[in-house]
Amino acid sequence: MSNATCETVRDWIPEYASGRLAPLEVASVRSHLEDCSECRAELDLAMLILASRAEVPAGLARTVRAAVRSDRAHVHRPWWGIGAAAVAALALGIGMSSDGSEQVESAVPGYAFEIEDGDAWLSDDGLIAGAPDLDALSDEALLQFLDELNVGGAGGGV
Amino acid sequence: MRDDERSDAILSDEELVERARAGDDAALSDLVERHHGAAYRVAFSMLQDDDAAQDVVQDAFIKAFRALGGFRGDSSFRTWVLTIAGNQARGALRKRGRRKETALEDAGPMRSEQKAPDEEAVDAQEAVRARKMLERLPEKQKLSVTLRIEEGLSFKEIGEVIGSSEGAARVNYFHGIRRLRELMQ
């Protein structure tokens, strides 16, 4: 049995499963796994999750880059460009939005999104607002919860 | 910067962000290249819809680059863009009105190869089953497990993405793992 505890090994399992763990730590994990069925089961689960990871569609990066470039070209259009476009639109009799919203056509045909007033896509602190289940707990309560997860049930020690 | 100068060094995200702010198109492309995969997997795990997830990734990067001037660097660019992708996906879910029920065979495109340090073969059927169970977890548990195992984020980074403390992210992760093991038995 290695000196690494179950708690340490479980923290390392994601890196171990994906081959990102440092060699010294890999040896420690392997040694621990020989004698710990609970940590082996957790590794097996991590491997299953990695094996079923969604494949990123080919060409997505290219599509995103094109959309971003198109958007930047639109947003950073020089003042004379905006003026010229407005004149051209008026000359052509093209109606313009009266509600102040901005319709942005992306590089992907048929795709567009609208910027809405008050669209709080990012909270003030840059974080997603979430259900206050665990967030309302103190650090002490969270540690107690972690102890229960590590010691009881599926998280049993060595 | 000339292309040959750029190829000499791998730039950090912070350096790329600085260059993108200054209008460097290549830096912007590099940031997309590095992080679009993680953003897609976050969106897909929440939406279970390939087209919708791709739209979310596109929106997330557009919004991130629009707001780059106000990016303070309190978090990494990666966690920032993943946070935006998560928010976009949540918005898409709200518009959809209900979560799409996922059939076993629709559990998402599978990786074609498994790069693991051990030589144990992973049972494909079990992997699909594990994915289906993962999709059933509460959102924060699911995202914590996904971001920790698939993307290698730290608990601090996961906390930033899901809007929780580092401790709460850790609890969400281990609680999710425990529930998954129970569901898999």
Q: How far apart are CA B31 and CA B34, in angstroms?
A: 5
Q: A104 pLDDT exceeds 60? A: no
Interface-testing mutation among A44, A68, A113, with chain B (most B C-beta atoms within 10 A): A68
**In whole angstroms, what is the distance from residue A134 CA to residue A126 CA?**
19
How many CB pairs lie under 8 A apart between chains A and B?
A: 201
- A17-21, B53-57, B95-99: least confident range: B95-99
Within 8 A by CB and 6+ apart from A85, the residues are A77
Q: Cβ separation of B111 and A53 shorter than 8 Å?
A: yes
pLDDT of residue A124: 36
> What are φ and ψ of residue A98, in 5° steps?
-100, -5
Residues of B in contact with A23 (CB under 8 A): none
- CA B18 to chain CA centroid, nearest Å: 23
Determine the residue of chain A that is closest to B37 in CA distance: A56
- Smallest Cα–Cα separation from A113: which of B57, B28, B47, B49? B57
Q: What torsion, rounded to 10 degrees, do the Cα atoms A10, A12, A17, A21 define? A: -160
Using a CB–CB cutoff of 8 Å, tell me whether A15 touches chain B: yes
Among the listed residues A5, A103, A112, A29, the one whose alpha carbon sits nearest the alpha carbon of residue A67: A112
Range among A124-128, B115-119, B159-163 rated most confident: B159-163
Q: Residue range B53-66: average pLDDT?
A: 96
- The pLDDT assigned to B120 comes to 52
| The dihedral formed by the CA atoms of A58, A61, A63 and A69, expressed in degrees to the nearest 10 | -170
pLDDT at B113: 41
**Phi, psi of B2, rounded to the nearest 5 degrees:** -80, 155
Angle of helix A23-35 relative to helix A6-17, nearest 10 degrees, comes to 120
What is the band of B129 on the pLDDT scale with cuts at 50, 70, 90?
A: very high
| pLDDT above 70 (res B4) | no
Question: For A52-78, how does the pLDDT look when each residue is reduced to its tens digit (9 = 90+)?
Answer: 999 999 999 999 999 999 988 876 654
pLDDT above 70 covers a percentage of chain A that reads 53
Q: pLDDT value at position A2?
A: 60
User: Is the pLDDT higher at B9 or at B161?
Assistant: B161
Helices (H), B68-123: 77-96
**For tokens 């905006």, what's the residue?**
A82
Closest CA to A11 of A23, A1, A25: A25
Note whether A156 contacts B: Cβ–Cβ < 8 A. no
